[in-house]
Chain A
């Protein structure tokens, strides 16, 4: 009797892994065989591919048939990868793959694709002149507003989870519900990487995007200004003083607003001699023709810098002919 129990125990011991293996295989059909979309988030009106990932299936695949939105596409029969065209933004495409296995078995895989846009609008909080029609660019330690706009989903942005990262560091302490807008500080380096992952409340990933943003050095250009007509928007390489005087404006670009508004260092030099900084507008200097007869040239230099962050500054020279 004792020997009978021992035999049963051995049988159970060796047969146990077989049962476990079967369970893994059963569940493996649904867990590992899948339709893979490339690119992962197709844009509207774009071409994308759907591929069959069935390598982990235990049985041999004998046939594949594809259905798009319930319609069989005969040309794609027995292809492992098919090319498709996405439609309007938000219009869902249902892809079905019917896989025939040996032994008259078959499984059906489904995947839905909804073309969605994730736009990240970058709004650097750096200085540009009032006449400038474009966007400023980020510069080191300046602030940048990032605004995510998702098109193609009916889910409100308040019901989505946003995970923002800058150079791999999650900002805001972790995923944040409804945080479609964030403000970041530009890190060191010539560029930095921003990534955003948007998930639904159930944890399912909706879309993600990564972009590289530049961090530029601030620049400064000179413009002539008249009392009546204001600034002439043509940047000056040199200035010809035709009258008795002229007003020159230095316009910094991409400077952090804090540095522009309260510059720790701002100086004008005329032929390497410091000139008093104008009180009303430190960015404007009025040049008068010298009393003496004759002609000549002068080098006018403008320099602005944040002394705590030396890369946050700009300098330029212009020649004035009189």
Chain B
């Protein structure tokens, strides 16, 4: 091809490109707006969600009612009690696990105050007196050597800490006494520490140390004791009055019990499965119950003919109870049942799972003097919960 022809073709192409560019620059219209970032689905269709028809904010009702079941703490609780303050308001005192700090929660306002900042490291279990002035705290570091300390908020030099013993096995604060057990010479010795006089008295002696005690109202008792439960070992129930040890006609493998004045709720293995019974101390009658309860979780309702027990209807208890529950291998989503002491029939008092949406393994059930509020902790995280009984 000749050189002039090449030059002519080149000029023509440049002119055409210039015309096209000029047209696009001055006359072309942009296409509809396409958002190239709204679809992260490769090749898939995108459904546009319909817009919600939202009402005006003024239309929303303001709910001032508190739910009857509510969580009081997110921190783990070593112990708690209900205390009536000087104005007649119900305050919930609790000891924070790990620190031993004492707090109060106003049941009406929900306000939380710290009452004692005295630190007792690795505090694990606590009892608070009914007037809120005395706190017994046990701390330990994963050993069975447990220290028992007493925090006195009513003393002039408060807070005063007295370490009662460093070998406590079990303890309980009731009325004017701090009860505790300690192992001495292969026996279990129970003491009562009088809070006013600071005198220590021996309450009873047991010939075995692996005992679970249900303390009475006074030094004289009656107190009750049984060897700690295990599915593979036999347990027996003893009644202790003064220094007299009386064997009650209740025994069995995996045996645990809760004693009311006349009635005893107990659970033991029967035909390779745990089963609960009532025993009447006056008539010696034993009645099998329809459901199986763990007496350690239950609560006696004083001056009433009921026992309150947590119960999970979805779990069939295996024969290794209560060991696997103690180990933390089995956990419950409890309801609270009220059980009639005479007939043994039960009714749902609170469906905790439905009311809270949480699976709560109820421990340390308690109630206020007016039967208006119930308290418990969740074994899984030791948080404190409250249920207000409105009827």
Is the CB–CB distance between B326 and A221 below 8 Å?
A: no
Contacts of B98 in A (CB 8 A): 226, 228-230
Contact mask for chain A residues 213-226; partner B; CB cutoff 8 A; 1 contact, 0 none: 11010000101001
Is the CB–CB distance between B143 and A43 below 8 Å?
A: no
A59 at the interface (CB under 8 A from B): no
The answer for the CA separation of A231 and B144 in the assembled complex, in Å, is 14
The answer for the CA separation of A220 and B75 in the assembled complex, in Å, is 27
Is the CB–CB distance between A229 and B380 below 8 Å?
A: no
Is the CB–CB distance between A228 and B249 below 8 Å?
A: no
Q: Select the residue from B245, B249, B382 with max chain A CB neighbours within 10 A.
A: B249
A19 at the interface (CB under 8 A from B): no
Report the nearest B residue to A148, measured CB to CB.
B207
The answer for the CA separation of A317 and B328 in the assembled complex, in Å, is 17
Contacts of B142 in A (CB 8 A): 129-130, 230-231, 249, 281
Segment 201-237 of A: residues with Cβ below 8 Å from B: 211, 213-214, 216, 221, 223, 226, 228-235
Is the CB–CB distance between A117 and B247 below 8 Å?
A: yes
CB distance from B125 to the nearest CB of A (A): 9
Contacts of B356 in A (CB 8 A): none
CB distance from A141 to the nearest CB of B (A): 18
Counting contact residues on chain A (CB < 8 A from B), the size range is 35 or more
Is the CB–CB distance between A119 and B247 below 8 Å?
A: yes
A263 at the interface (CB under 8 A from B): no
Contacts of B208 in A (CB 8 A): 121, 123, 147, 149
Segment 225-253 of A: residues with Cβ below 8 Å from B: 226, 228-235, 249, 253
B132 at the interface (CB under 8 A from A): no
Contact of B144 among A130, A137, A230 (CB under 8 A): A130
CB distance from B282 to the nearest CB of A (A): 12
A76 at the interface (CB under 8 A from B): no
Contact mask for chain B residues 22-41; partner A; CB cutoff 8 A; 1 contact, 0 none: 00000000000000000000
A130-B146 contact, Cβ under 8 Å, with A123-B209, A135-B230, A181-B186? yes
Is the CB–CB distance between A133 and B140 below 8 Å?
A: no
B351 at the interface (CB under 8 A from A): no
A132 at the interface (CB under 8 A from B): yes
Is the CB–CB distance between B233 and A122 below 8 Å?
A: yes
CB distance from A116 to the nearest CB of B (A): 9
A151 at the interface (CB under 8 A from B): yes
Report the nearest B residue to A123, measured CB to CB.
B210
The answer for the CA separation of A137 and B230 in the assembled complex, in Å, is 8
CB distance from B40 to the nearest CB of A (A): 21
The answer for the CA separation of A149 and B369 in the assembled complex, in Å, is 40
A142 at the interface (CB under 8 A from B): no
The answer for the CA separation of A82 and B94 in the assembled complex, in Å, is 61
A44 at the interface (CB under 8 A from B): yes
A211-B246 contact, Cβ under 8 Å, with A135-B229, A229-B76? no
Contact mask for chain A residues 43-56; partner B; CB cutoff 8 A; 1 contact, 0 none: 11110000000000
Work out how many contacts link A and B, with CB atoms closer than 8 A: 113
A276 at the interface (CB under 8 A from B): no
Number of B residues near A (Cβ < 8 Å) is: 45
The answer for the CA separation of A152 and B238 in the assembled complex, in Å, is 13
Contact of B227 among A135, A216, A233 (CB under 8 A): A135
Is the CB–CB distance between A45 and B249 below 8 Å?
A: yes
Report the nearest B residue to A253, measured CB to CB.
B327
A89 at the interface (CB under 8 A from B): yes
CB distance from B235 to the nearest CB of A (A): 9
B338 at the interface (CB under 8 A from A): no
Contacts of A230 in B (CB 8 A): 97-98, 122, 124, 141-142
Report the nearest A residue to B330, measured CB to CB.
A235
Segment 308-350 of B: residues with Cβ below 8 Å from A: 322-323, 326-329, 331
A221-B207 contact, Cβ under 8 Å, with A45-B284, A135-B230, A214-B232? no
A294 at the interface (CB under 8 A from B): no
The answer for the CA separation of A281 and B141 in the assembled complex, in Å, is 11
B234 at the interface (CB under 8 A from A): yes
A235-B229 contact, Cβ under 8 Å, with A43-B249, A129-B142, A180-B207? no
B251 at the interface (CB under 8 A from A): yes
Contacts of A229 in B (CB 8 A): 75-76, 97-98, 382
Is the CB–CB distance between B236 and A228 below 8 Å?
A: no
Is the CB–CB distance between B228 and A119 below 8 Å?
A: no
Contact of B143 among A121, A123, A130 (CB under 8 A): A130
The answer for the CA separation of A122 and B236 in the assembled complex, in Å, is 11
Contacts of B388 in A (CB 8 A): none
A232-B97 contact, Cβ under 8 Å, with A147-B208, A221-B327? no
Report the nearest B residue to A146, measured CB to CB.
B208
Is the CB–CB distance between A149 and B207 below 8 Å?
A: yes
Is the CB–CB distance between A130 and B140 below 8 Å?
A: yes
Q: Select the residue from A44, A133, A137, A231 with max chain B CB neighbours within 10 A.
A: A133
A135-B381 contact, Cβ under 8 Å, with A229-B76, A229-B97, A235-B328? no
A39 at the interface (CB under 8 A from B): no
Contacts of A181 in B (CB 8 A): 186, 207
Contacts of B207 in A (CB 8 A): 121, 147, 149, 180-181
Contacts of B209 in A (CB 8 A): 123
The answer for the CA separation of A315 and B34 in the assembled complex, in Å, is 61
Segment 301-316 of A: residues with Cβ below 8 Å from B: none
A134 at the interface (CB under 8 A from B): yes
The answer for the CA separation of A135 and B210 in the assembled complex, in Å, is 7
CB distance from B95 to the nearest CB of A (A): 12
Contact of A135 among B75, B143, B228 (CB under 8 A): B228
Is the CB–CB distance between B233 and A137 below 8 Å?
A: yes
A232-B381 contact, Cβ under 8 Å, with A121-B208, A135-B210? yes
B194 at the interface (CB under 8 A from A): no
Q: Which residues of A contact B (CB under 8 A)?
A: 43-46, 89, 117, 119-123, 129-137, 145, 147, 149, 151-152, 180-181, 211, 213-214, 216, 221, 223, 226, 228-235, 249, 253, 281
What are 15 sample pairs from A and B whose C-beta atoms fall under 8 A apart?
A46-B249, A119-B247, A121-B208, A122-B227, A129-B142, A130-B140, A130-B142, A132-B326, A149-B247, A213-B232, A216-B232, A221-B327, A228-B98, A229-B75, A231-B142
Please give 15 more A-B residue pairs, beta carbons under 8 A apart, in addition to A121-B210, A121-B227, A181-B207. A44-B247, A122-B227, A123-B208, A123-B210, A131-B124, A132-B326, A134-B230, A135-B210, A147-B208, A149-B236, A151-B247, A213-B233, A229-B97, A230-B97, A233-B328
